[in-house]
Amino acid sequence: MSLTYESLFIGGEWVAPSSDKVITPVNPSTEQVAGQVPEAQEADVDAGVDAARRAFDDPSVWSGWEPARRAQAMERLAEELDARADAFVERVSSQNGMPVAVARQLEVGYPSAVLRYYAGLAATSEFTEVRPGMFGGDIEVRRHPVGVVAAVVPWNFPQALTMFKLAPALAAGCTLVIKPSPETVLDAYLLAEAVEAAGIPAGVINIVPAGREVGAYLVAHRGVDKVAFTGSTAAGRAIAEQCGRLLRPVTLELGGKSAAIVLDDAQLDLAEIGQGLFTSTLLNNGQTCFLGTRVLAPRNRYDEVVEAFTAFAGSLAVGPASSPETQIGPMATARQRDRVESYIAKGRSEGGRITTGGSRPGDLDRGYFVQPTVFAGLDNNATVAQEEIFGPVLTVISYDGVDDAVRIANDSDFGLGGTVWTSDPGRGAEVARRVQTGTIGVNRYIPDPAAPFGGVKGSGLGRELGPEGLAAYQQLQTIYR
Ligand code: NAD
């Protein structure tokens, strides 16, 4: 089914776009057009920022509400999102190729859980604190909302990554202009419908589907007070430069090339750890920023680890995203498939041995599919071990002792996720503490709404989720009394 929208959700209304340009997302499983929406232009961004600005500047609209009242509105929005769960699953997977089983886990339920978590924080957090001063008198510390937020999101988890920004911003009292990625715009319309049904006041949430130039215009807009971005490291650097010039607060969640460290005592029983390995190494067709795509194996168990990952990757069901059995769907775009294939060719030319996958599946004549692929025989200097591929490609690298494993894990331009696999969780946590990364799991990995998520080095600046994620949408004011 192809869906068509003709207006933009700005200022609580469905308004005519400023131009007749359109975005037509393509279903990567079928190569058919999935729908059509207006492509926002600079004039539409101006309208969105104006609406957000007016809503923010009038405290009676949202920013000046008691936090508990905002929490109630957020709870209503969570209910409206849940009521649209099936449609969200369908729209996300038909645009970016996320298997419906994965979308059902992470693109519905999870975003509303994040929203409810921040509704709870809004209702229970202290937004004003009084403490005794060192030099006499009291000090009042106030947590004001930072203002109008520009939220720029990618296509890989469009709803979850929107909510990582939207939920804390709403809890803090901010208003937003959200710019979805052109690949995933139809789910953003469902979000707009939910916002309207939940009675979120006009202008608090505005949505402008557009590409990178219009995104750059939004980031630099004089009416914007804070930028929250998830996407590639290259775009993140450009946005950070712009925000640096403007002295505009910015949160950046960027790329990754994390390590899955298999310790010498790990049990590689796939029946037991298969689901955890899947979530932490190949989730969403390998198009997930935190994946441990460098598998570090003790030298004396190298062949066994290669064999286990080969069996694991080779056993995954590849197919159309709409099929409930599918574990690995297509790459989100033809360009993304080309990129993944060029990395596979590079891995081969640098001497890598492919133990499973390495090409397109023979039985699917449509769609941007790549088989899950495992490389053996490469070290950490290989291009496929250093650069983010953003596809279902793992490289198994050998190490000599735990110090060497930690050294290799840290020998990366990135530091976002990672895992340690061991039969001794205490030892696993000790190793995890030595890895230069924003988040890491022992025998499991999934970003938890209650804990800060984000990266070090080329993986970004700042944190989303947890109380720390709320602080990113607040500015402090101190009053000496
Ligand atoms: P991208 O950086 O090309 O685009 C992301 C979003 O930013 C899109 O909405 C795009 O239109 C917009 N954009 C691009 N350049 C911009 C600019 N200069 N100014 C303003 N907006 C701009 O990335 P992508 O291809 O959509 O997503 C894949 C990348 O995102 C991967 O590198 C992945 O690791 C990263 N990612 C990171 C996280 C995380 O939390 N760290 C999560 C998901 C994806």
Q: What is the C-alpha separation between 297 and 303, in angstroms, rounded?
A: 9
Ligand 1 center–CA 164 separation, angstroms: 14
Six-digit token string for 282: 């190949």
Nearest atom (ligand 1) to Cα of 459: 41
The CATH class that applies to domain 259-448 reads: alpha beta
Question: Does residue 255 line the site of ligand 1, with CB under 6 A?
Answer: yes
Nearest atom (ligand 1) to Cα of 181: 9
DSSP 31: T
| pLDDT given for residue 2 in this prediction | 72
Which residue's alpha carbon is at the smallest distance from atom 33 of ligand 1?
Answer: 255
Longest CA span, the chain: 77
Nearest atom (ligand 1) to Cα of 253: 41
Are the C-beta atoms of 92 and 99 separated by less than 8 Å? no
Catalytic residue among 39, 90, 183, 253: 253
Question: Does residue 230 line the site of ligand 1, with CB under 6 A?
Answer: yes
Ligand 1 center–CA 253 separation, angstroms: 9
In three-state secondary structure terms, 464 is strand
Ligand 1 center–CA 3 separation, angstroms: 24
β-pairing, 32-33 vs 26-27, is: antiparallel
Average pLDDT taken over every residue of the chain: 97
CATH topology (fold) of 3-254+458-480: Aldehyde Dehydrogenase; Chain A, domain 1 (3.40.605)
Alpha helices, DSSP H, located in 332-465? 334-349, 383-386, 402-410, 425-433
Cβ–Cβ contacts within 10 Å for residue 324, how many? 9
pLDDT-flagged residues of the chain (< 50): none
Nearest atom (ligand 1) to Cα of 236: 2
Question: Does residue 231 line the site of ligand 1, with CB under 6 A?
Answer: yes
pLDDT per position as a tens digit, 349-381: 999 999 999 999 999 999 999 999 999 999 999
Question: Does residue 252 line the site of ligand 1, with CB under 6 A?
Answer: no
Q: What is the C-alpha separation between 321 and 31, in angstroms, rounded?
A: 12
Is the sign of the CA dihedral 91, 282, 358, 313 positive or negative? Answer: negative
DSSP 173: T
Question: Does residue 427 line the site of ligand 1, with CB under 6 A?
Answer: no
| pLDDT given for residue 29 in this prediction | 98
| pLDDT given for residue 64 in this prediction | 97
Catalytic residue among 289, 341, 388, 464: 289
Query: For the chain, which residues make up each domain, given as ranges?
Result: 3-254+458-480, 259-448
For the entire predicted model, the pTM comes to 0.97
| pLDDT given for residue 207 in this prediction | 98
Ligand 1 center–CA 15 separation, angstroms: 27
Burial of 444 (0-12, 13-18, 19+ CB in 10 A): middle
| pLDDT given for residue 471 in this prediction | 97
Q: What is the C-alpha separation between 451 and 468, in angstroms, rounded?
A: 8
pLDDT per position as a tens digit, 45-71: 999 999 999 999 999 999 999 999 999
Segments of 311-372 assigned E as strands: 353-356
430: left (phi > 0), else alpha (psi -120 to 50), else beta? Answer: alpha
| pLDDT given for residue 1 in this prediction | 56
Ligand 1 center–CA 233 separation, angstroms: 8
253 counts as catalytic: yes
Which residue's alpha carbon is at the smallest distance from atom 6 of ligand 1?
Answer: 154
Are the C-beta atoms of 45 and 210 separated by less than 8 Å? yes
